[in-house]
Structure 1
């Protein structure tokens, strides 16, 4: 199976199962489109009709080159991965590599689009105690098998509302990692309201990454991200974010925004972030019920599709100015990863990755917290709801029949289980609106990566 498209004057051919990417001329592009349906003589004659100035020998040579790529498994390759899907995940059964610690089920902002109900997750406000967090870290070590690198994200609500416990837990983790043969990597996700010099110093010392919530333009950000008196947070947090990012030397952070029906023209928000000096960016489409005022409409999605293309152009313009920036969804390694295990199995929610509530309950990920049917167990007795865990363990790209003919399936790995559940009622469902946006992002991301690769290697075409 292949996917062909044109963008930025490039004819791009993606071989789905091998991951090979080819940038070709018009003749090869047209010939590849009909290669499996016609024999050599018929196809060469048709191409001769379409391109009369091209010598027949050149057309035959083009055909032979395509055939060689096919024989090498770099075009029209077969999908050999389906039988591996369950086997690969079974090999890591019972091994947990990451926890999302809900250090605070409370927040000092009152964002109306918040999936976590302003940090309460449909329940009571709560702060995680040191004892609970300590047990969560022990649980992670005990269930991590031979894995050395372990990931812990301090999440909320707003985790800085429980900052003392965050510091205590990091100190505890550092005290046990050598003896346990582990290496903890910590991440902090914050709305920025409580950032001060102490937070900045601690984050720079201990946090591998810091995720900062900013929706872009002041009028957009302040529309939803308000405090309990209704006051917008933009003017408070931006100077704090700038100070933190400067202290981190512009590295190891993400400026993470959400765009909604209020701003499908989110490129203006990206530009605002750039103007403020930020270069590590992410803008996520809101996931909301169709009757929610924040939900994207069909008309909005058409705008968003164009925005993704314009974003790709903007990235290339900044490259030319020697001032590149990163956009999370456009991060693609043409020659390296991700490995086939990740492509098939997805994020690992409910198996390799779990969320922990302030009182120690386990859920497949942060987006399922509060959904009692998805409670896996707790950090004291472990996973007891094996039925739900087994459902997530079998939740790979091949578990969704709608993905069978999708060219992007080995990049999205079947998509987000939480989005699928909230859209369809099943973790093995398909969030179709999200699929459309993902495919567009992927086309743009590949085009940017290809052009960068061509410039870096100083050649006019690419074959990755």
Structure 2
């Protein structure tokens, strides 16, 4: 039986189609649903003949042409070259992450011996784990060293010292290191009813090891922690620091976990379902679907209200669909990840620590069983028989080795019940994605929320600059009708001084612009405080380093004179110059855009020249004025 090239399914009374290879999905109407029963396996004339009694030929031709357009843009039905097919079976080499479970130290109760219970031996264990990470990193440049503790950080001074030593060694090796501290089984004070019976953990990821000491205090306190205190610890509002709360469900009643944590103020929440199955194989995947469904429904409602937070594993799945990023392997165990327990024994993954059959060796011996380790190269949907013909293979990624071992006894054999549950919630996720996308939800904002970074994105800069004046966001599919209405017959330079403008943009054209933006362009919608759109901004880097061309359009000309808008533009251009290495901007304006020209001059731009007869419009050639501005002088 050949692989399904386009998978069709129904969910919630609606019909959808997805390309299993590219993960591109869309909602189907009655005609496209019928066409996809045959397309692309038969000829177009055969489709016309088979459906002649159900649909007009003209409408069938329109659907086929849209599918062919998606095919030509490589959104669906891509034909990989022979070299690309071979690369699918290649394993990404180089260690990216090592998880180290630190030994418990209690100086009053534990005697000092030669064992790993002594502080000196614990420090040595940390240094050896770092040697393992750097020694097997190969060409990988971005690495993570994660310290795993139970209850709270037992010895914060030791962890700080280990982090600083690791950062120093990574810099010398030319690597970028992120250190993470993960505390499992956190005891909560006044545990909400929704969290009763579930395991709660807290994780901090810090890019600058010098700042570990400043952020570790909240995780080092002994005794029960309130959700408010935990939220403050995990969200310090500091550059390069990201925190999340991790909940591992212990029973199927976990539908209220996400609402409880959202109301407590957490911005990154993770439901560790893999950990639940690995810890208790008696959990039935179908019974867990109800809790996951409740969480997904709540999450979707919050996103539709533009209340953005990140919920894993749902947000990464939305991102893969939105970004067209297939994931043939989701578990890095044994290839890009290794784990070390408190005695120095090495395992393929932290989820497999303590299982003797997966022990690969010991740090103190300096020996790892390479043959046993190589067995984990065959994990993932590409080499797993049950996954090869599954339509959700590039969304699921083949699952995790620990879950398969717990449910079937083999780390390479998925449990059929688990697979059925995966497909069911993947279908629900595809349905939710299409609904949310049509409602204007921005998935890049969802996925990248809300960790501070040393170099914020252009969108983050825009939000900061316009916080007190106007808002800003990327264009979205739901904006298509408005954008087409703004563009049609407009004589603004934003539209006419552009090789792609035809002054007759259709809604379909603008939907494609939102779904498949040109990589060099940043096109953003300007919003009033009420959320109503009132203009557009597009930035396009030029060939000369440090320079960019900016296009600006405000729907109401009176807004060009508004002080709040001028302040916001000046701030965002200066911040973009500082963070995106842009030193100067060139902005085009038509001769008749007098108020726009005054706006640019008020910002600090000056007229740099005129391009003669640069635009052909209404039967005549027109000159275009160019205004230049240096970010340092704005």
Both structures adopt the same fold (TM-score exceeding 0.5)? yes
Q: TM-score, normalised on structure 1?
A: 0.75
- Superposition RMSD on alpha carbons, in Å? 3.7
Greater percentage in strand: 2
Q: CA deviation at 1:191?
A: 4.0
Segments of structure 2 that go 5 or more residues without pairing to the other structure are 107-115, 201-221, 441-475, 482-507, 516-634
Corresponding position of 1:423: 407
Alignment of 1:207-246 (within 5 A): 218-223=192-197, 236-246=225-235
Corresponding position of 1:33: 37
Corresponding position of 1:459: 480
Q: Report Cα offsets for 1:311-346 as digits up to 9, x if no partner.
A: 4443332234332221111223245464x6xx3344
Q: CA deviation at 1:246?
A: 4.8
Q: Distance in 1 between matches of 2:306 and 2:72?
A: 40
Q: Which moved more, 1:242-251 or 1:181-190?
A: 242-251
Contact 1:420 1:426 in 2 (8 A): yes
Q: Are 1:398 and 2:419 matched, yes or no?
A: no
Q: Tell me how many residue pairs correspond in the alignment.
A: 405
Q: CA deviation at 1:356?
A: 0.9
Corresponding position of 1:114: none
Select the structure of larger CA radius of gyration. 2
Contact 1:259 1:283 in 2 (8 A): yes
Larger RCO: Structure 1 or Structure 2 (Cα < 8 Å, ≥ 6 residues apart)? 1
Corresponding position of 1:180: 173
Secondary structure of 1:223's partner? coil
Q: TM-score, normalised on structure 2?
A: 0.56
Q: Report Cα offsets for 1:179-202 as digits up to 9, x if no partner.
A: 2212210122224758xxxxxxxx
Cα 1:16/1:156, change in 2 over 3 Å: same
Q: CA deviation at 1:452?
A: 4.4
Secondary structure of 1:400's partner? coil
Q: Which moved more, 1:73-82 or 1:280-289?
A: 73-82
Q: Distance in 2 between matches of 1:105 and 1:3?
A: 51
Q: Distance in 1 between matches of 2:99 and 2:166?
A: 15
Cα 1:282/1:289, change in 2 over 3 Å: closer
Corresponding position of 1:361: 345
Q: Report Cα offsets for 1:139-160 as digits up to 9, x if no partner.
A: 2222222322210111143461
Contact 2:330 2:380 in 1 (8 A): yes
Q: CA deviation at 1:358?
A: 1.6
Q: Report Cα offsets for 1:155-183 as digits up to 9, x if no partner.
A: 14346124332112112113323222122
Q: Distance in 1 between matches of 2:304 and 2:330?
A: 34
Out of 224, 230, 248, the position equivalent to 1:258 is 248
Corresponding position of 2:214: none
Cα 1:345/1:267, change in 2 over 3 Å: closer
Q: Distance in 2 between matches of 1:26 and 1:235?
A: 56
Out of 267, 291, 296, the position equivalent to 2:284 is 296
Cα 1:323/1:125, change in 2 over 3 Å: farther
Out of 149, 161, 186, the position equivalent to 2:142 is 149
Cα 1:82/1:417, change in 2 over 3 Å: farther
Secondary structure of 1:17's partner? coil
Q: Are 1:274 and 2:275 matched, yes or no?
A: no
Out of 109, 131, 149, the position equivalent to 2:124 is 131
Secondary structure of 1:373's partner? helix
Contact 1:403 1:409 in 2 (8 A): yes
Cα 1:289/1:152, change in 2 over 3 Å: closer
Q: CA deviation at 1:382?
A: 4.2
Q: Distance in 1 between matches of 2:280 and 2:346?
A: 29
Q: Which moved more, 1:39-48 or 1:254-263?
A: 39-48
Corresponding position of 1:204: none
Q: Report Cα offsets for 1:201-222 as digits up to 9, x if no partner.
A: xxxxxxxxxxxxx8x9723533
Q: CA deviation at 1:383?
A: 4.7
Q: CA deviation at 1:274?
A: 1.6
Alignment of 1:379-398 (within 5 A): 379-398=363-382
Q: CA deviation at 1:70?
A: 4.5
Q: Distance in 1 between matches of 2:348 and 2:366?
A: 13
Q: Distance in 2 between matches of 1:290 and 1:277?
A: 30
Q: Report Cα offsets for 1:278-329 as digits up to 9, x if no partner.
A: 232222332168885xx2375x24534xx52x54443332234332221111
Contact 1:126 1:358 in 2 (8 A): no
Q: Distance in 1 between matches of 2:186 and 2:310?
A: 24
Cα 1:431/1:47, change in 2 over 3 Å: same
Corresponding position of 1:102: 101
Q: Distance in 2 between matches of 1:106 and 1:27?
A: 67
Cα 1:402/1:271, change in 2 over 3 Å: same
Q: CA deviation at 1:367?
A: 1.6
Out of 140, 146, 149, the position equivalent to 2:133 is 140
Alignment of 1:164-179 (within 5 A): 164-179=157-172
Q: Distance in 2 between matches of 1:287 and 1:126?
A: 34
Q: CA deviation at 1:352?
A: 1.8
Q: CA deviation at 1:387?
A: 1.9
Corresponding position of 1:84: 87
Greater percentage in helix: 1
Cα 1:348/1:158, change in 2 over 3 Å: same
Q: CA deviation at 1:380?
A: 4.3
Q: Report Cα offsets for 1:330-381 as digits up to 9, x if no partner.
A: 223245464x6xx334432112210011232211001211112211123345
